[in-house]
Amino acid sequence: MCEPLGKLADLEARMGKPFTDEAERAQAQAALADASDIVRAYGSPHWGCEDGGRTVPTPPAVRAVTLAMAERRMRNPENFVSEGAGEYQYRYAEQGANGFAPSKAEVMLIEKLANKYGVRTLDVIRAVQINKRKAYPYDENVETVLDTE
């Protein structure tokens, strides 16, 4: 069983208000659970989960990214970029309009903390053909080039 990577009280502190409405609390819990699942998909699927009777620790920066994603969802659930009414206009920061998806910097941080680096190794095998051609100096059987030194 995996628990969310952020706590409801921490999300309330980030937003600067308590969730008093039961529907808002349920929405916040769902946002934390969804953000945790997305973060685990980019990082380690074991963060915050029970493994052999103990809970696998979560790096503090992973918790911060999870809370930031949940906060974006709570502040802007419809992913508006801007809104206006009459003369009033408001524009969200581009990252705030990013919605639930983590930013590139957040993904890089999550992958780094999970020891998932962008550099991978591959075994490369290439057939190499050596041409048998006469070159000076050569011996009579054309198999070996003579050492000139």
pLDDT (tens digit per residue) in 79-93: 777 777 888 887 766
User: What's the pLDDT tens digit per position in 90-133?
Assistant: 776 665 556 678 988 999 999 999 988 766 666 777 666 566 65
pTM over 0.75: no
Q: Domain range holding 12?
A: 8-113
Domain assignment of residue 138, yes or no: no
Residue 130, domain member (yes or no): no
Work out the percent of the chain whose per-residue pLDDT is above 70.
74
3-state secondary structure the chain: CECCCCCHHHHHHHHCCCCCCHHHHHHHHHHHHHHHHHHHHHCCCCCCEEECCEECCCCHHHHHHHHHHHHHHHHCCCCCCEEEECCEEEECCCCHHHCCCCCHHHHHHHHHHCCCCCCCCCCCCCCCCCCCCCCCCECCCCCCECCCC
Q: Is residue 66 assigned to a domain?
A: yes
pLDDT for position 129: 58
Residue 81 located in a structural domain: yes
Residue 75 falls inside a structural domain: yes
pLDDT by residue (tens digit) across 30-75? 999 999 999 999 999 999 999 888 999 999 999 999 999 999 899 8
| Count of domains for the chain | 1
